[in-house]
Amino acid sequence: MKVKVQLFATLSLYLPRGVENRTATLDLPEGASVAEAFRVLRLPDDLPKLILLNGINVKEDARLKEGDVLSVFPPIAGG
């Protein structure tokens, strides 16, 4: 299944080269978790993250499905 993973701010460093809009498209096994997507991108476990799955906060054990959009941020605030 294909899912889109967006990595923002300092996490952009972990995007594969050449992607646009800070978004990587990953091909993952059916029912893969958020943590598995992070392993593919080599995102370190110990980096604190704010994780949104289709705009809703989730944890790393959440399961993904075809067409999902995962948006991942380091701890941020402001505005």
Partner 1 sequence: MGGWTGQFLRVNLSKGVCSKEKLDPTIARDFIGGRGLASKILYNETDPKVDPLSPQNKILFATGPLTGTGATAGSRYMTVTKSPLTGAIASSNMGGYFPAEMKFAGYDLIIVEGKSEKPVYLWINNDQVEIRCAEHIWGKTVWEVEDLLKAETDEEAKFASIGPAGEKLVRFACVINDKHRGGRSGVGAVMGSKNLKAIAVRGTKGLKVARKDAFLEVVMAAMAKLKAAPVTGQGLPTYGTPIVVNIINAHGFFPTRNFQEGVFATANKISGETMRETTLIRNKACFGCPIACSRVTEVKEGPFKGVGEGPEYEALWSLGADCGIDNLEAVTKANYLCNELGMDPISVGATLACAMEMYEKGIISESDVGRSLNFGDPEALVEMTEKAGRREGFGNVLAEGALRVAQKYGHPEFFMGVKGQEFPAYDGRGAQGMALNYATSNRGACHVRGYTIAPEVFGIPLKMDPFTTEGKAAIDKAFQDITAIVDSSGLCLFLTFGIGMEEILPMLEAATGAGYNMENLLKAGERIWNLERLFNIREGFTAADDTLPKRILEEPIPAGPAQGKVARLSEMLPEYYRLRGWDEQGVPTNEKLRELGLA
Binder among 2, 16, 54, 63 for partner 1 (CB under 8 A): 54
Pick from 42, 40, 51, 45: which is nearest to 6 by CA?
51
Binder among 52, 58, 60, 62 for partner 1 (CB under 8 A): 52
Locate 32 and state its tokens.
């893969």
Q: Using the rule CB under 8 A, is 6 a contact of partner 1?
A: yes
**CA-CA distances (angstroms) from residue 60 to 38, 55, 70, 79?**
9, 15, 11, 27
Name the one range near partner 1 by CB under 8 A: 3-11, 29-37, 38-46, 60-68. Answer: 3-11
Q: Using the rule CB under 8 A, is 74 a contact of partner 1?
A: yes
